[in-house]
Structure 1
Amino acid sequence: MKIQKILSCFVLLFSIQTITAQDDLLGQLDVKSTKKEATPYTFKALQICNLQSTKLPAKGEFYMLITHRFGDLTEGINNFFGLDNANTKIGGIYGLTDWLSIGVSRHTFQKNYETAFKYRFAKQMENGFPVTIAGYNTFDINTELDKTNYPSLKFSNRLAYSAQLLISRKVTQSLSLELATIYTHKNLYDNTTEYADLALLGYGARYKLTKRLSLNLEYDMRLNAIDGYMTNKFQNPMTAGLDIETGGHVFQLVFSNSQAMNDVSLFTNATGKFNKGIYFGFNMYRVF
């Protein structure tokens, strides 16, 4: 009889512990289901194609970047489908914090040196904030200008700037979208074909095709380019590309109507149209 009572007490105690454990587990599941976490991988690369994405390096990460734009594909064999003349950009980007990075690069075009800052205001959260918001600013120095052609040249004439507000959302596991408001300023410009100040509205999209491949598209509409001659001289930037993920880096193939890669020239001096002025190239980022 004593043994039966002891066994009955043991069974009762075990049942109480099991019920308590189940309650604790259900409580943990409830907490987990309501916890807000950042939405992962809205964009895999720091750029969509030419346009910046809302992705930033993590604190302490260093990205080495090499980007290339060949000449006009539509000229065909005359310039060997663009291989005879190309622009190159080489530089590095460092994550100062998880929300702030700095980048420095040198461009073949205009022998331009560019310093860039990207900073995050907010992250898209699962079960929470609907979008990621980031800012991006560039500061350019055109070192190709010389006093032989510009006797009154000042250092300030070499400078150009851009400011961008980037808003992105991962809509589904495959589709990510971005809206960008863009402002550019040049201290030196041709007032018959260019603007000192230009405002644009940019659109970007990434669609995941496979685990390691995505299709990217972007279009930037110049808002204050209204008078006919200037509008005909330069075009709204358009770009299509592919993201290819390979181990420690993302490799991007790009087709664009702009050969320049520094942001000010990209947004203000795109010359290509659908049938003429298409530039093939690539972006390669290596993270350390």
Structure 2
Amino acid sequence: MTMAKRIILLSLLWGAFTYNCLAQEDLLKLAETQDSTQADYTSATFKAVRLLNGHTIETNRAGELLFLISHRFGTLNSGAYELWGLDQATIRLGLEYGFTDRFTAGIGRSSLEKTYDGFLKYKLLRQKETGMPLTLTLFTSAAIKTLKWIEPTVEEQFKYRLTYTYQALLARKISEHISLQVAPTLIHRNLVPLASDENNVYALGAGGRVKLSKRTTFNAEYFYLLPGETADQFKNTLSLGVDIDTGGHVFQLMATNAQGMIEPLFIPRNAGSWSQGDIYFGFNISRVFQIRKDKAE
């Protein structure tokens, strides 16, 4: 195991130890409102629970149910016949519920490879005005590919359809206008195409946002595959976009070289290249509903 891989793994191990409906209410104001007992905690590091493709350190408030629609069109280089990607599309629908202000669970289904996923997020550490310099959220997920089995040389077993993701999301709100995040990542695949391929894929995500106005931000996100067979075969994922808070929804518009919308698809299996025009236009739309009201932690 290389030193870089050891650093990623140690980061993950250290992290493991150490929305009646608000139809008209401004989500930004909701996110920035704090209970008086939490006045010292930094809030609204990011506008949404996704940076672009990947998760942010943000979790839902207790009793909030978030409905997320994610959509990616085809590549711009597909030409006029495909209307530059508009004739081709993949979608993911997801539900995410905040059991507490710091613990969120979610499920989703992607049309790409008919994949179901479930995840857990727990905000272990919270940035404070004095003391704690950053926020740490632990993330884990499992994904199940349900396409009909087409590999005749491998016995069809349920376990071979599973992929697991582990992340330590560390972020700091540097100012009211700038927030940065890093995401050491481990993805374990129970089945890989070749014996020489890696079951464990290590990557380092990085990104951030710049506040352009009260309701808009510019976001960037990059996932770097650590050297190995996977990095030799696939591309790093780069995504650029904007968040727009409309007062009832958060729209995220983006351009990315990855078609997948969950970690096992857009990190270790991304074949798109910006330089070759493999650019997917996409968006996320999130809506929050208050299912129950709890006191803030």
Normalised to the residue count of structure 1, the TM-score between the two structures is 0.83
Equivalent residue letter for 1:125: K
Equivalent residue letter for 1:143: T
Mapping 1:92-103, distance limit 5 Å:
92-103=95-106
2:61 corresponds in structure 1 to 58
Mapping 1:268-287, distance limit 5 Å:
268-275=268-275, 276-287=277-288
Structure 1 residue 58, shift from structure 2 partner: 0.4
8 Å CA contact retained: 1:160, 1:187: yes
For residues 194 and 85 of structure 1, do their structure 2 counterparts lie closer, same or farther at Cα, with a shift above 3 Å needed?
Answer: farther
Worse-superposed segment, 271-280 or 133-142: 271-280
Identify unmatched segments of 5+ residues in structure 2: 1-37, 290-297
Worse-superposed segment, 274-283 or 106-115: 274-283
Q: Secondary structure at the match of 2:274?
A: coil
1:203 corresponds in structure 2 to 206
Mapping 1:20-99, distance limit 5 Å:
37-99=40-102
Distance 1:65 1:141 in 2: 19
1:253 corresponds in structure 2 to 253
For 1:15-40, what per-residue CA distance to the aligned partner results, in whole angstroms no more than 9, with x for missing partners?
xxxxxxxxxxxxxxxxxxxx961112
1 or 2 for the larger relative contact order (CA 8 Å, sep ≥6)? 2
Identity percentage over the alignment? 36
Q: Secondary structure at the match of 2:85?
A: coil
1:130 corresponds in structure 2 to 133
Structure 1 residue 190, shift from structure 2 partner: 1.4
8 Å CA contact retained: 2:82, 2:88: yes
1:21 corresponds in structure 2 to none
Q: Secondary structure at the match of 2:260?
A: coil
Distance 1:171 1:49 in 2: 19
Equivalent residue letter for 1:280: F
Question: Which of structures 1 and 2 has the bigger CA Rg?
Answer: 1
2:159 to 129, 152, 156: 156
1:267 corresponds in structure 2 to 267
Worse-superposed segment, 194-203 or 166-175: 194-203
For residues 151 and 129 of structure 1, do their structure 2 counterparts lie closer, same or farther at Cα, with a shift above 3 Å needed?
Answer: closer
8 Å CA contact retained: 1:145, 1:158: no
Pair 1:118-2:121 in alignment:
yes
Structure 1 residue 269, shift from structure 2 partner: 1.1
Distance 1:250 1:260 in 2: 20
How many residues were matched structurally?
251
